[in-house]
């Protein structure tokens, strides 16, 4: 049953009329027409659909749109500040930390969530946090190095 749901999407308050039980992923991709958030497995197993909800990584294929009412939702399209890439995005570019790019939005948002929580993660914590984000091209080691470099940059280094 459709109802009105309000939340903040990429720093802009929005109101949509939608069945609150629909998966957030598909509301983002269809109703909100943002396609940077990817479907990969539909069961929260791969991380391609990761978005930030109030700064924390969430699998949007497993969350319902009702669950994010009154929250702040950030997708890959909202991570850069205008033309200024987020340090994690910039770092992925500089480290060639991607190949096909399909898992990349989820990887970047998962990493951003980690740095929101802990700006100085060690390598073990980075690996542990990224463990359930799958990449088939094999960019893993570069992704880890990119996250380390982004953390350094965020902390005034680099």
Which residues of the shown chain bind other proteins in the complex (CB under 8 A)? 22-23, 25-26, 29-31, 33-43, 45-46, 48, 75-77, 79-80, 85, 89, 92-94, 96, 98-105, 108, 127-128, 130-144
Q: Least distance from C-beta 42 to other proteins, angstroms? A: 6
Token reading at 129 = 């946090």
- Tell me the closest approach of the beta carbon of residue 39 to other proteins, in angstroms: 7
CB of 122 to other proteins, least distance (A): 14
Report d(CA 122, CA 124) in Å as an integer.
5
Nearer to other proteins, 71 or 89 (CB): 89
* The two three-digit tokens of residue 117, written as one number: 């929580």
Find out whether 133 and 103 touch, Cβ atoms under 8 Å: yes
Print burial letters for 32-48: b (CB count within 10 Å at least 16), e (below 16).
bebebbbbbeeebebbb
Residue closer to other proteins by CB (options 71, 139) is: 139
For residues 49 and 67, give the distance between their C-alpha atoms in angstroms, rounded to a whole number. Answer: 16
Least CB distance from residue 135 to other proteins, whole Å?
7
């Amino acid at each position: 049953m459709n109802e009105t749901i309000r939340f903040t999407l990429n720093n802009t308050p929005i109101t949509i009329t939608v069945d609150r039980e629909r998966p957030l992923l598909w509301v983002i991709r269809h109703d909100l027409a943002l396609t940077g958030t990817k479907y990969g497995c539909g069961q929260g197993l791969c991380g391609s659909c990761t978005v930030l909800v109030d700064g924390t990584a969430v699998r949007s294929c497993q969350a319902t749109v009702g669950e994010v009412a009154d929250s702040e939702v950030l997708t890959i399209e909202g991570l850069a500040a205008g033309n200024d890439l987020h340090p994690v995005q910039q770092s992925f570019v500089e480290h060639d930390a991607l190949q096909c790019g399909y898992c990349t939005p989820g990887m970047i948002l998962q990493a951003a969530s980690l740095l929101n929580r802990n700006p100085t993660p060690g390598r073990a914590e980075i690996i542990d946090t990224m463990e359930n984000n799958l990449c088939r091209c094999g960019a893993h080691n570069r992704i880890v190095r990119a996250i380390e470099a982004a953390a350094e940059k965020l902390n005034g280094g680099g």
